[in-house]
Amino acid sequence: MNTDNDLLMTIARDTSRLIGKDFLERLVNILRNHMNAIMVVLTERPDPNSTIAKTILARVGDQPVENFEYDLVGTPCEAVYQGRTYVVANDLSVKFDVDKNRISYIGVPVFENDQVFAHLAVISDKPLTNPEMAESIIQIFAGRAEAEIRRIKYDREKDSLLQELEKANKRMTSNYQKLRAINEYKTQILGMVAHDLKNPLGQVLGFSQLLSANLKSASPDQNQIHENIKMIQLINNAGNQMLDQIKKILDDAQNETAEMPLNLEEINIFSFLKQVIQMNSIAADRKKIQLRHESNKEIFGYVDPELLVEALDNLISNAIKYSYPESEILIYSSQNENELLVHVKDQGQGMSEEDIKFAFQRFKRLSAAPTAGEDSVGLGLYNVKLIMERHGGNVSVSSEGKNKGSVFTLSFPMNPELSD
């Protein structure tokens, strides 16, 4: 390697105004061009327990190389990652199983918190004429490279934090808009209820008062009986009118829910299920019910975490509500080529064919009753259905019959393509 006294000044001058990756690229190029190097590599080992190193930057001949991984075992770089500068002035190919045209080697460790996490190495096809000088030059700029690698790392962390902050801000904005829309819708519904139900309710009250007065008559004649029947019919008509109005309001509420926005994120299903199970652990403990979790730790899915929490919480809390004390509920995930599946299996009261048919209809109470007197309004499974449909998936249930338990399954696409 050519290690004259001007080389140090050349490197310093040509890199003095550069930082970050620009500096590292210029450093690798200068070392390649001015030190008779056939290879200059700057690598990192993200996992200190691994023997695999990955190139941050490299120059092999005239070609740049990035993101190349190799095993350190049996290479001179292995000694560098043990924490010391390693120099081979001649006969590199004799000491290591490398190409014969690789004659000399200098490798310098790069430290972080007293641990080697990267290294800078120069390989030449000529012997080192002044190893001490060459080693000093590489050590000087390895120290500068260390600072720039940290700068790049911190910039990445900063960018990642900014992205997370931006995502959190978007989520908060979306939630605020969603809550505002829900509040406006609630106000609208209350106004509709007050206005549209006032008249038929007044009719019910008025006719019922007249009917009560007539029935108090000591000897009602045929005309009065006929009038009473007529008022009963009018009360029935007014009641049906109110019922129709309530149905319309509920249909409007369904349409509003179906348009709920999605904030899709890639999540680890194992960790996610663990979190939701923990949320329901107190209710399970009260009934001495065991929540057992069996899932592949490597399954990931694109979902809206907040909505999926609501869906799973409904299924697990329902399983607890309708299961007998001292039983078990199994929560697990699986996947096939196109779908991600999450299952909630209980040992509870099971479901009849009629129950399965109407399980996901709103305000529909099934034949089973909560085993500890818990409340049920019949909306939980209906909400689960809406959430899964919004994900482009569905929810289903199977049961072998009464008192033989049930299995609820959420399924949604592995790679959703949903319209706004």
Has residue 328 got a pLDDT over 90? Answer: yes
348: CB partners within 8 A, 6+ apart: 319, 322, 323, 324, 327, 368, 371, 405, 406
When mean pLDDT is compared over 100-104, 280-284, 393-397, the highest value belongs to 393-397
Average pLDDT, integer, range 137-158? 78
Has residue 258 got a pLDDT over 60? Answer: no
Decide: 252 and 193 in contact? Cβ < 8 Å: no
pTM of the model as a whole = 0.42
Look at strands 328-335 and 290-294 and give their pairing.
Answer: parallel
Q: What confidence score (pLDDT) does residue 212 get? A: 67
Q: What confidence score (pLDDT) does residue 244 get? A: 63
CA angle 255, 260, 264 (to 5 degrees): 150
Q: What confidence score (pLDDT) does residue 343 get? A: 94
Q: Where is average pLDDT lowest: 81-85, 106-110, 416-420?
A: 416-420
Average pLDDT, integer, range 328-332? 93
Has residue 1 got a pLDDT over 60? Answer: no
Q: Where is average pLDDT lowest: 69-83, 87-101, 121-135, 255-269?
A: 255-269
User: Using one digit for the tens of pLDDT, what is the confidence trace for 45-61?
Assistant: 878 888 898 888 777 77
User: Using one digit for the tens of pLDDT, what is the confidence trace for 160-188?
Assistant: 778 877 877 777 777 777 767 666 656 65
